[in-house]
Each structure stands twice: as structure tokens, then as C-alpha cells.
Amino acid sequence: MACRFRIFLLKGWMFVLASLTTISAWGATDQIINPQVDRREIVIPRIDTEDFEPGIFMGIMSVEDFGTQAVYGARLAYHVTPGLFVEGTYGHTEVGETSYEKLSGGARLLTDSERKLGYYDVSLGYNLLPGETYLGEGLGFTSDFYVVAGVGSTDFAGNQRFTVNLGTGYRLLANDWLAVHLDMRDHLFNMDLLGENKTTHNIEISGGLSIFF
Amino acid sequence: MSKTRKGGRVILCTGCAFLRALTAFMALILNALPISASAEDRHLRVEVAEPYLELHVGPGEAYSVFHVVARGEKIEVLKQRTGWFKIRTEKNVEGWVPRARLEQTLVAPGEKFSVREASQENFVGRNWEAGVLTGNFEGSNLISLYTGYAFNPNLSAELSLAQILGDFSDSLMFNFDLVAQPFDDWRASPFFLLGTGVIDTHARKTVVASNDSRDQISHVGVGFKVYMGRRFIFRAEYRNSVIFAQSDDNKEIDEWRAGFAFFY
């Protein structure tokens, strides 16, 4: 009887041991198959891109034979590389009288609507001298000296005229996104109003503001 | 223009009054219009993994380096312009770094920051294209705006508006073209086009013996597009056009165009 009881105890122990081994083995298997690694989700926020630069300008424009008047307009530039940009411009001015009209006392070459001059052009620009400008102690701004060249059309004296424009400008960034411009442009187009067909140089000097977005 | 310091006070001469006013104005703009502070926590934070990272004062190699960030420092990426990124350091120093340098920083341990930048693959798989071309239309100057939609890398449809400015007349031309581009994966890829449109001719005021007219125009053309980088392409083409004139015999036109375009 005592012997039987001992065998029963032994079996019991073996059962408990086997169960424990199984449980521990199961636990170990679980670890190998399903590693509990926390994978971090990386969400990259959208980074604001600021390659466009719209702006407005005002200044004076000298139209050959017709005197110098105020000019105003708007520009939109797209910056392709740190150096290169493309730019579309629209400008408007109203010309005065030629010397001939003033001296002849009454003879008029153009009607009032023909005296309105509007131009558009598309230009390529290059930031030739990028650098910094200092205004007083510790107040520095990034600035560029750029050159532009392009083609366009000028609506003046009743006709559309193919126009080449060449110019230089200076851009000073007041902060990240606001720029102050000083520009000088020469608009070259042909005029045949005063008898002969000649290429005229029409100089425009302007100042403006633009924003980057 | 002299400036002296007396007992800690800066005295400016009258000649500098304008400069002082301008400086004050600039400072006012700087203070009055800061970047919205609420946007700060949305900025991406990365860790400098190279021995050092140089900050430029402006977006471009030509702008001078004014600050250096050490390895292990965290920086915030604020914005980008022409492939340059404006960043802010932990000490609130702001400067510009190029894309290639920023791509050496880590967004998470072992994970480099990568920027999706337009490439030639994007050019091949583009949908929309728009540009400006200038050239010669049988001796007259031409300026043209166009936009195109690509059905697949080899075939696209284009609409273009051209202004033609000659000595005796100016015209406005509107065209619809089909463009076939057989070797779409070449960097300089040739194309063929076939199209039709309308040309409105307006005689110059100073020319007496000429009338205004509206005629149909058709053309075949050949040209090439060159991928220039980012979203920019150069394009040049030759077109042989026929104007179906109402008043006279048909007129054959040689036309050259070249210019730049974007794709997106």
C-alpha cells in the first residue's frame, strides 16, 4: 500500500514537472515566433516650399520721344535654382507729348487711348552677386544683384510691338518672405510713327515689394 | 556719416537719419510680421549625424557660412526654397542648408532624412506641362504660351496661344496639337507634332494696303525636349505650317520656336 502511494506521489510530481516544462517551453516558443518590437511610425510633416515670388512695382519710364511718366505693374517670379529664376511682368504707363506736338501747337500724333502703353514680358534672370547688405550695427539682410533678359510685347500707339528687355536689379530680403526691389530695365522695340522705322530704347526705373510663398 | 558712443548712448549724425528711419522700418517689419508661432510644433525635427553642419545666411552656396551645428544636436526644418532648407537649432539660430547635407541627418535612430525631389522619372511620368516659347514665324517675331496634357509617356495633347509681331501686321494664333514622343526616357527626347488652329491677322496702322483676316492654319513639326533638372525642361522645335487663306492662295510658313517649360 505504501509502495502504491509512493508511486502515485512520484507520478504526481512527474505530471507537475512535465506541465511546468511544457509551460516554460511554450513561453519560450512564443518569444521566438512573436518578438515584441515596438516599431516607431515616422510621420514626416510637409515642408513648406517657397519658390514663387509675386510682387508689385512703381517707378518712372522714359518712352523715347514721348517723355518720362510714372509706370506701375506686377511681377511673378519662379525660382528654379538658387541662381536662376523665370519672371513674367506686366507694366502700364501713359506717355506725354513729343517735342513736335508741343512746338507745332495743336498737331497730335496719337489719340488719348493710343497714349496708353502696356507691356508684358517673360524673362530669365540670374542672381549674379548674392550676398549680404548691412544697414547699421548688427542689422544684416541677405541681398542679390541680378541680371534679367527676356522677350515680350508692348501695346503702344495702336500696335503690338515685339519687345526685348534687358535689365539689372537689386533684391533685399527684409525677412524670410518679404523682399524690397530696385530695378532698371531697358525695353527695346521698333517704332515707325515719326517716319522712319527705328529701334527705340525705353528705360524704366522702379522700386517694388514682393513676397515669397 | 559719423557715429560716436557717449555713456552708452549712440548718437547719430543728421546725415544718418534716413538710414536710421530705414533701419527702424526694417526692424518694425521684422518684429511685426514673424512666422506664425503656432506652426512651430508641426516642424520636422532631425538630428545632425555628420561631425558638423554648416549654416548659410541665405539659400545658396554663394551666401556665407555663419554658424556650425555639432553632431547630435537636434534641428527643426522650417521651409525649403530652390533645394535649400531653412532650419532652426536648439539655441534658436536660423540658417540655410542644402538638400544633400540635410539628407545626412537622422529623423529617427538609424533612419536618414530623405527628400522627394523631382527627377527625370517624374519627367517621363508627367501629366501636365506648361511653358513659354519664343521664335520666328516667317520673319516675324513670335511669343507663345502653351500647356499640354500627357495621356501616356509617348502621347500628349497641347494647346498653345501665340502672338506674332511683324513689321506689317500682328497676329494671334491659337493651336491644338498632338505630340508623339517615341523615346520618352532619353534626357534629350525628340518629338513629332501634328496640329491645326486659327490665325487672326491684324494689319498695322501704318500699312495701308492690307486687310484684317481670320484663317485656318495646319502644321507638322519636329523638335526635342531636354530635361534640365527639378521640374524644368528646355524645348526647341521647327514647324512647317500652311495657312488656308480665304482671299489668296495657300501660304506656306517656316516657324522656329525655343523656350522653357515646367512639368507637374
User: Model confidence over B142-153: pLDDT tens digits?
Assistant: 999 999 999 998
Question: Is A100 inside a domain boundary?
Answer: yes
Q: In sequence order, what are the beta bridge partners of A114?
A: none
Mean pLDDT of A142-165: 92
**pLDDT tens, A194-210?**
778 889 999 999 999 99
Question: Is A170 inside a domain boundary?
Answer: yes
Contacts of residue B179, defined as CB under 8 A and 6 or more positions apart, other chains included, come to B148, B155, B156, B157, B158, B191, B192, B193
Give the DSSP H/E element, type plus range, for residue B49: none
**pLDDT tens, A88-108?**
999 999 998 888 888 887 788
Instruction: Look at residue A103 in the predicted model and tell me its pLDDT.
Output: 87
Nine cell digits for residue A173: 530680403
Distance CA A187, CA A165 (A): 5
Please state, in angstroms and as integers, the Cα–Cα distance from residue B5 to each residue in A135, B13, B14, B61, B68, following that order: 18, 12, 15, 37, 32
Q: Please give the DSSP secondary-structure letter assigned to residue A195.
A: S
Cβ atoms of residues B184 and B124 within 8 Å: yes
Q: In sequence order, what are the beta bridge partners of A116?
A: A94
Distance CA B180, CA B178 (A): 7
> Distance from A117 to chain B by nearest Cα, in Å?
16
Q: Is the pLDDT assigned to residue A13 strictly greater than 80?
A: no
Report B:199-228 residues touching A (Cβ under 8 A): 204-206
Q: Which of A137-146, A171-180, B6-15, B206-215 has the lowest mean pLDDT?
A: B6-15
Q: Is the pLDDT assigned to residue B37 strictly greater than 60?
A: no
Distance CA B233, CA B126 (A): 12
Sequence-ordered alpha helix ranges (H) in B67-199? 99-102, 120-124
Chain A partners of B64 at a C-beta cutoff of 8 Å?
A: 131-132
Contacts of residue A36, defined as CB under 8 A and 6 or more positions apart, other chains included, come to none
**Strand, helix or coil for residue B50:** coil
Mean pLDDT of B146-170: 91
Q: Could you tell me which of B112, B78, B111, B74 has the C-alpha nearest to residue B97?
A: B78
Cβ atoms of residues B163 and B141 within 8 Å: no
Instruction: Look at residue B202 in the predicted model and tell me its pLDDT.
Output: 85
Higher pLDDT, A18 or B125: B125
Distance CA B158, CA A5 (A): 98
Q: Is the pLDDT assigned to residue B176 strictly greater than 50?
A: yes
**What's the total number of domains in chain A?**
1
Question: Is A99 inside a domain boundary?
Answer: yes
pLDDT grade for A71, boundaries at 50, 70 and 90: very high
Mean pLDDT of A118-130: 93
B246 touches A at CB < 8 Å: no
**Strand, helix or coil for residue A177:** coil
Q: Phi, psi (5° rounding) for residue A68?
A: -115, 130
User: Cα B86 to the chain's mean position, in Å?
Assistant: 20
- Pairwise CB contact (< 8 Å): A130 & B29: no
Instruction: Look at residue A19 in the predicted model and tell me its pLDDT.
Output: 67
CATH topology classification for B122-263 = Porin (2.40.160)
Distance CA A202, CA A63 (A): 5
Distance CA A39, CA A37 (A): 6
Distance CA B84, CA A49 (A): 10
B163-182 burial by CB neighbour count: b if 16+ within 10 A, else e?
bbbbeebbbebebebebebe
Per-domain boundaries in chain B = 1-34, 41-116, 122-263
Report B:179-198 residues touching A (Cβ under 8 A): none
**pLDDT tens, B188-225?**
999 999 999 999 988 876 666 667 888 999 999 999 99
Give the DSSP H/E element, type plus range, for residue B54: strand B52-56
Nine cell digits for residue B248: 489668296
Give the nearest partner residue to B80 out of A47, A78, A139, using CB atoms: A47
Chain A partners of B113 at a C-beta cutoff of 8 Å?
A: 44
Cβ atoms of residues A167 and A181 within 8 Å: no
Distance CA A76, CA A87 (A): 6
Mean pLDDT of B239-255: 86
Distance CA B130, CA B139 (A): 25
Chain B partners of A139 at a C-beta cutoff of 8 Å?
A: 23, 26-27
CATH entry, B41-116, from 3.50.50.60, 3.40.50.300, 3.40.710.10, 2.30.30.40: 2.30.30.40
- Pairwise CB contact (< 8 Å): B260 & A197: no
B61 touches A at CB < 8 Å: yes
What domain range is A119 assigned to?
A: 52-211
| CATH topology identical between B41-116 and B122-263 | no
Question: Is A75 inside a domain boundary?
Answer: yes
Nine cell digits for residue B228: 534640365
Mean pLDDT of A42-50: 76
Q: What is the mean pLDDT of chain A?
A: 85
Instruction: Look at residue A31 in the predicted model and tell me its pLDDT.
Output: 56
**Where do we find the cell 495621356?**
B151
Q: Is the pLDDT assigned to residue B36 strictly greater than 50?
A: no
Q: Which of B79-83, B104-108, B120-124 has the lowest mean pLDDT?
A: B120-124
